[in-house]
Amino acid sequence: MKKNWKHILPLLLAMFMLLTACASQPTVEPNTEDPTVSGQPAEVESDGVVARESDVIVVGAGGAGLAAAVKLGELGGKCIVLEKMPMVGGNTMRSGAAYNAVDPELQAEFGIEDSIELHVQQTYEGGDEVGKLDLIQILCENSLDALKWLESYGVKWQHNITAVIGATWPRTHYPENSIGSDFTIPLTEAAEKFGQEILLNTQATELIVEDGRVVGVKAVNTEDGTQYEFRGTKGVILATGGFAADIERCRQYNPKIPADIKTTNHPGATGDGIDMAVAIGAATEGIEYVQMLPIGGGTTVSTVIDDLIFVNQEGNRFVREDGRRDEMSYAVLDQPGQYMYMINDQRVVDANVSQKGLEEKLAAGEIYRADTLEELAEQIGADPDNLVKAVEDFNAHVRSKEPDEFGREVYNNTIEVGPFWASAPQKPTLHHTMGGIRIDTEARVLTESNEPIPGLYAAGEVCGGIHGSNRLGGNALADIFVFGRIAAQSAFEGK
Ligand code: ADP
């Protein structure tokens, strides 16, 4: 057969040029030690900036960013996820993993009445009616679906419903081990299976805007200083989390926060995404609303509030334990020494907590256990009569289910089956920033005049406007997974 050289010659020429180009052009070596780096070759421009491109650039590999990466994969889209820390996970990985979702089937098993409307109402009112109802509606309507979506990627849920501190209602679900990596590990694996690239130690510094559209982001490798330009043909998703690691910034917004407060946040929670978005004209929502958690200053036995009480150093209760996080935190700050203990009985431990971990904490003297309440009071240096009376009063209200003098409404079990447990002294900690970038229900970033900024999307704690002035415990994880998926969908569809 006669060969048609007219057609083959250009092909050979192209192959030759490609080979010589590959040989002469420096490429970024695949990082074989880091399985999250796929090692696709990157081009180096003449000014020394490494240029990379994908469909979408996701900034931040916490829960929202990882959910977006997985959702993009599902849709057939590719992304590069930039993570400034040496590990994925952000605050999501550090979280206690409480996840709120109205789940009629499961809640019915535990005799709990609930509805989407109630979740919306409690979220709105729990945030002083500052949050935006359209965003809250999306959060509450989609949280069960997101829970099942997470399950489809390997998240295993406990067959239980409780109320985490500040949830105000029993609709809290926990994954297998009640730790944030129950989410971040399966999502990272899923993102990698979809071929998404996660670059660690890569800090986004500035959004790139061309003709009014966000087309990418500048970044720097925090280890070797390499400068990058990442371009997303379908845009950029900011999923950089909040700024509760920046105590001074939080205190500027809320001077009631004590100067010596500790933070529950990972060190990377410094508000980078908010600053980058604001620099190109994004509006913020409720930036001044910073959340303290009433606990966090020491080891806990359990954070499920249904069957525990808070007592001060005198052994007295002082606040409803099913209340809002801000009210509980300020109440703790009003107590002698500005701390409190959490008291529960053995049944909580049997139902929720890994006994082995507690034995280690006991041995280390971090928490307390005693056969009687009197002995427990002695161990923590409280008045035994006060502690016994506090528990008796609480038990009477558990039985009657009537609100007590502090207004507590959520009850499950009494505290009466020994041994009895006390946490380490708990001080309020900085925990969450409710404020952030303004978005719409499609996770598009908005300007002051509510115009979407083309090509820019945001999800998770980096956003404001959902939790109002005070976030319900357990709503953050629902938020990041619900809106992480929406941001991916919107970016993919070019909304
Ligand atoms: P969310 O709960 O909203 O997902 P997380 O705190 O869990 O928030 O995750 C946010 C992630 O974004 C963290 O891992 C954090 O290190 C990362 N991050 C923050 N700022 C930057 C930045 N400038 N560049 C890249 N990653 C960032």
Instruction: For ligand 1, say whether the CB of 272 is within 6 Å of any of its atoms.
Output: yes
| SS3 assignment for 415-436 | CCCCCEEECCCECEEEEEECCE
Q: What is the reported pLDDT for 235?
A: 98
pLDDT for 396 beyond 70: yes
Q: What is the pLDDT of residue 465?
A: 97
Contact 264, 431 (CB under 8 A): yes
Q: Flag whether pLDDT at 460 surpasses 90.
A: yes
Of 12-26, 162-176, 293-307, 319-333, give the lowest mean pLDDT range.
Answer: 12-26
pLDDT of residue 270: 98
pLDDT band at 354 (very low <50, low <70, confident <90, very high): confident
313 Cα: distance to centroid of ligand 1 (angstroms): 37
Identify the weakest region by mean pLDDT among 188-202, 316-330, 354-368.
354-368
Ligand 1 atom 19, closest CA: 240
pLDDT at 6: 36
Return the number of other C-beta atoms located less than 10 Å from residue 337's C-beta.
10
Q: Give the residue-averaged pLDDT of 335-353.
A: 92
CB 243 within 8 A of CB 266: no
Least confident of 90-94, 158-162, 296-300, 321-325: 296-300
Helix extents (H) in 292-342: 325-333
Residue type, 293: L
* b (16+ CB within 10 A) / e for 183-208: bbbbbbebbbebebbbbbbbbbeebb
Reported confidence tier of residue 352, pLDDT bands at 50, 70, 90 = confident
| Nearest ligand 1 atom, CA 459 | 3
Closest by Cα among 59, 164, 65, 139 to 434: 139
Among the ranges given (133-142, 205-214, 303-312, 486-495), the one the predictor scored with the smallest mean pLDDT: 303-312
Q: Is the pLDDT of residue 361 over 90?
A: yes
Rounded distance from Cα 149 to ligand 1 centre (Å): 22
Q: Residues 52, 320, 324, 325: which is the catalytic one?
A: 325
pTM attached to this predicted model: 0.87
Average pLDDT over residues 49-64: 98
Strands 56-59 and 79-82: parallel
> Residue 461 C-alpha to ligand 1 middle, in angstroms?
9
Which of 214, 249, 266 has the alpha carbon at shortest distance from 60? Answer: 266
Nearest CA residue ID for atom 11, ligand 1: 60
Q: Is the CB of 217 under 6 A from ligand 1?
A: no
- pLDDT class of 228 with cuts at 50, 70, 90: very high
At 435, the pLDDT band (50, 70, 90 cuts) reads very high
Give the mean model confidence (pLDDT) for residues 47-55: 94
Cα(50)–Cα(17) distance, integer angstroms: 21
pLDDT at 23 over 70: no
Q: Specify the pLDDT at position 292.
A: 94
**Phi and psi of 21, rounded to 5°?**
-65, -45
Any ligand 1 atom below 6 A from CB of 479: no
The percent of residues in the chain predicted with pLDDT above 90, rounded, is 83
Check residues 347 and 41 and name the one with the higher pLDDT.
347
Residue 30 has pLDDT above 70, yes or no: no
* pLDDT score of 46: 60
Expressed in angstroms, the distance from the first to the final Cα of the chain is: 53
CA of 447 to the centre of ligand 1 (A): 22
DSSP-assigned states of every residue in 78-142: -EEEE-SSSSS-HHHHHS---EE---HHHHHHTT----HHHHHHHHHHHTTT-S-HHHHHHHHHH
Quick check: 16 pLDDT over 60?
Answer: no
The predicted structure's pLDDT at residue 82: 98
Task: Check pocket membership of 432 for ligand 1, CB cut-off 6 A.
Answer: no
213: annotated active-site residue: no
The CB density around residue 117, as the number of other CB atoms within 10 Å, is: 11
Q: What is the mean pLDDT of the chain?
A: 91
Mean pLDDT confidence for 318-346? 95
pLDDT band at 42 (very low <50, low <70, confident <90, very high): low
